[in-house]
Amino acid sequence: MKDIFTFRDAEKQVGPVAFTTMLKPAGSACNLDCCYCYYLDKAAQYGGRQAVMNDELLELYVRQYIEANEVPTVQFCWHGGEPLLLGLDFYRRATALQQKYADGKRIENTLQTNGMLVDEAWCEFFAANDFLVGVSLDGPEDIHDAFRMTRGGAPTFGRVMGTIGLLRDFGVEYNTLSVASRLCEGRGDEIYRFFRDTVGSRYMQFLPAVEHVIDRPGMRRPVIVSPDHEGARLADWSITAQGYGDFLCDIFDRWVVSDVGRCYVQLFEATLAQWCGVPPGVCSMGETCGDALVVEHNGDVYSCDHFVYPAYLLGNIRETPLAEIYRSQKRRDFGLAKRNALPAECLRCKYYFACRGECPKHRFETGADGCRKNSLCEGLMRYFRHAEPYMDRMRELLAANESPAWVMPFARARMGLE
């Protein structure tokens, strides 16, 4: 399967260049010490000291990124670590550079933050420049503070909730990104209602935590490693496949009877897109990947945020233009491997069209033919099977030019709630 190249692959290759980048201007530097963070230890790849992006490299990146995208809208995604460590002046310079090199293209900005440094000045800047701000918040206080602590071990829930209030007061558009750990098992409905009713989030992302670790003597947080690493064990906080499936189904059951068209859950929106045969907008559910590059603080480029390892380095924008890096065979092969390295049983699965093998970072199990298989397969299959009749109904509604929100009375009747 490794050499399969489809007509769709060819179409993508000859079409207009369009890709996103996740820029990490502060690298893995962060003011928190989250137990499950797979990025905190990346500084070791750069000599153990995490530097930040300088102004000359920032300008080079902005120019190359805008020029490389052959589409009307270019979206910048500022990430980390904690990107706010660079300070407001850095982002003022960045937005000025965006306008300098826009060349008629629309520029959009998203930024992911842990919420600890946001104040009124940041909110004024976000509002004035139309930033979409993603806030990392895992759920109610006991779930959030179990893993998201300061370097001194202090809780962060109260400060993050204060940030949510500030963003709301200043009219900043925000969404929430949550890590679904083992603590979330059996609490899907509660967690969803917390985000909807208490946080006021109208766009939610729930990312499953499944990692392997080795312990470090005298350190609170273990090191996240490949499952093939000597001595690696599944992290205690990893969500189980069954627990993840139940978690998704519980959230879906609350959403589908009351909030379709009002609250957006990334996975549900992507699932509906798959059901309708349109791009899902989420790399983990795409047939192939490699269109969401990572640019590090020093200009190094990788194919994916989860594969920032020396073996996956594509190049550096100081030496090779970003457009050329994107068109490289190494980047293309990485993306095609998402599909071509799947076990045959996955390709034959009824729900392959919806799942697409999910994210390669979760392929810890082994299929019957020896290929790596997603360790969350059982849970994902449970979710797709559970959502199927409602997705079918929403597809019918869309085909009739009606709102998918009309699935709600159908769902309530089917669940015996009317």
Residues recognised as catalytic: 305
For residue 149, what are the contacts with CB-CB under 8 A and spacing of at least 6?
A: 32, 33, 34, 35, 155, 156
* Helices 241-258 + 407-414 axis angle, to 10: 120
Tokens 């895992």 belong to which residue? 138
Could you tell me the strand order of the sheet in which 313-316 lies?
264-265, 203-208, 174-180, 131-136, 106-113, 73-78, 20-23, 292-295, 300-302, 313-316
Q: Is 20 exposed, middle or buried (0-12, 13-18, 19+ CB in 10 A)?
A: middle
List, in order, residues 6 or more apart from 200 with CB less than 8 Å away. Answer: 164, 168
Tokens read off for 326: 């994107």
**Which residues is 212 bridged to in the sheet?**
225, 234
Q: Residue 154: how many CA atoms within 13 Å on its side-chain side?
A: 8
178-198 in b/e form (b: 16+ CB < 10 A) is: bbbbbbbbebbbebbebbbee
Instruction: Please report, for residues 193, 196, 257, 388, 396, the alpha-carbon distance to residue 409 in angstroms, rounded to integers and kept in the order given.
Output: 20, 20, 7, 16, 14
* H helices present in 103-140, as ranges: 120-128
What are 123's two structure tokens? 């909110």
Q: At what angle do helices 377-399 and 241-258 cross, to 10 degrees?
A: 20
> What angle do the packed helices 407-414 and 377-399 form, to 10 degrees?
130
